[in-house]
Structure 1
Amino acid sequence: MKNVILYGSLSCLLVLAGCSSPSQREKVSGSYDYLKTKQLTDGFEVPTDLQQPLRSNQYDLPILESANEDAEALVGQNMRISSPRLILPLVSGSNVIEGSEDAVVTFDKINDREALDKTIWDKVLGYLEKNNIGVENFDRENNVLTTDWVVSRTEIPADSWYDFTSEFIEESRKFTLSLELAPHGRIASLSNEIVAYIDQDGNSALNSLDAISERSDEVEFLNYIIAEYDFGIRLARSERIAKIRDGFSTELGFNADGDSAYIINAGYNNAWPRLLLVLRKMGFDVIDLDQSSGLLFVAYNGNDDGWFSGLFSDEELPLEKDNYRILVQRSGERTSVTFKDDENISFDIQLVTDLFPIFQEYMASDNLDI
């Protein structure tokens, strides 16, 4: 079965002139008379009454060996002048291997909640599914995936400016993606290799592809995957920011130690930045914090003087202007917040209850700056 992905499409604006085809733009233009030029071997013709000058071979043209067919082919119209395809490390923490001729990109682990290899394969499979590209084989244990046929359609411009009809050529390719994970699991390299090719005439012609074309195809397909990976990360980040901005509902409850606490209906990573905003609005200044341990050291300096504080009361919170501690803990898919004094003693249930209305309102408000 062949699955179609429209990539590398070419559109030309015909304005009183024809538009060259992709293959023509990859070749030099002009006269090729220089190919007929032969190097002088007899040296300078010097009059007999003058001394022959010393001759250096520093600027002699190299002689192509007849056995080297590739060298003989890379002259004149057969010389490719297209710029090389470059890998685009768009994803945060990604980079390229300098000097490598292979289509390979490395990723650093930036999400500790999920294994890096799972993250990458999820993005690869998501891209393939989104573009209706089948999977011929996926060896998850050895981190190797081979795609089904990826069909590209390239537009061939008309021969004359007044001809508005379009023709297309189709080519099909299969790629093998390989993932190499470092022993520590925090760095992985994703490489791409073309393993099958059918030309526009329907012939299997992988061996006919030159090195430049192979790398271009491999890098181009890898770049599509990287771009989709980056888009997914940016989309998830935007959705997360929107959730934090909208606020979360809160309930009275208990933390894992049985102390009175506020239970935020949000995951830890979303509740944490939202809590920092709420504390600022409540009149707390954060002195120190450690998100990995969920501990904040704060100082209460009085309510925010902004207009929003007037919706509750003109009085300040029933707290001394002093230093306090706040413990933030994961509670399944929710998050618990426990207020403590500077001696690490949790607030009693009455004080927690008294503070709850303003904490709940600020946590749910969508008017906080982010």
Structure 2
Amino acid sequence: MPSLVPLAQIFAVRSATRTEADVQQNLGAFLTLAPLGLADNQVSKVEVPTGDGTRRRIDVEYGRLIVEVKEDLTVANAVAKAEPQLQGYLKVKRDATGDEYAGIVTDGVEWLLYTLASDELKQVQAFKMKRADADSVERLTNWLDGILLTGPKLRPTPDRIEEQLGANSPRFRLDRARLEALYNDRGNDAETTLKRELWARLLRMALGTNFEDDAALFLDHTLLVIEAEIIAHLVVGIDPSTLESDAVLAGAAFKSAGIIGVVEADFFDWPAKVDGGPAIIADLVRELGQFTWKDVEHDVLKHLYEAIISPETRKGLGEYYTADWLAKAIVDERVTDPLNQRVMDPAFMRKSGVSRDIAELQLVIAS
């Protein structure tokens, strides 16, 4: 992307002569020209009035992203002064549109990513432009694309799943923060409390002393299973955006087609039952819709699981996927008449909780 480098050399290099306006204008031009996939009428807008009766202006607005620009974030209190401004802008846009916006505070070198969590501003990730060259420009573009998810449709390769949806991706950090805020606000709901207790009881029975009832793990499992259930719809050509959130998580479309046991109501459908949860599910549908799931050529849920759940957690839970080559060798040797044979996988029979849900969904994606 050589044409973008001159812009980056202005906004991504601190100097005595560079002004905040320089950063703002060149950053706005960069967002418009970068291959981020928004329509022509969605070019970046600079100095956008908030429309709330005040004289406040948003530095840069691009799609569902608000950018608060400062000349130099290394100056004392620069970030502390920028955060309340960004918080106000995100609230105004959410109230006006009903959509959740991501927010960034930047001086072109340091990029701090935020979301609104229970109306409070929460930083979820940071990115730094180390140089203003083609490689750094590409890294920045990929990072921004991971936030916006508006670029061209992507094939869900293992690397892309980890890059766009894994625990270190900006999109995961935003979604996970929103889900945590929802749980903190609504987790005392009787049905949600019961579902977490049942989840913990089942894993305690399966794992014994290896299991610790941890809210963070429950939220990771919740996000993982919801994404897997949405993917199950997309793989077979069902558009989950046309369904109510509780219908998506209960597998209503599959049941109406006479397909039982694919997507079922479980421990992890609680966000569909509480205020604010359906909006999160709708955003996950939009985000996952950026991938061409019909083109999947591998065990996508295995890679999604491993991208979200850390190796340390998987080790503690004793949850491992059989290597693809080994599973294939066993099937090739033992499954000689697949249309007429019934086959039991003892490891599958031991699966519980999130592992069971993922395993059952794999049968759909593989078929």
Pick the TM interval, shorter chain: under 0.3
Between Structure 1 and Structure 2, whose CA radius of gyration is higher?
1
Provide TM-score, normalisation by structure 2: 0.21
More strand by share: 1
Quick check: which one's helix share is greater?
Answer: 2
TM-score normalised to the size of structure 1? 0.21
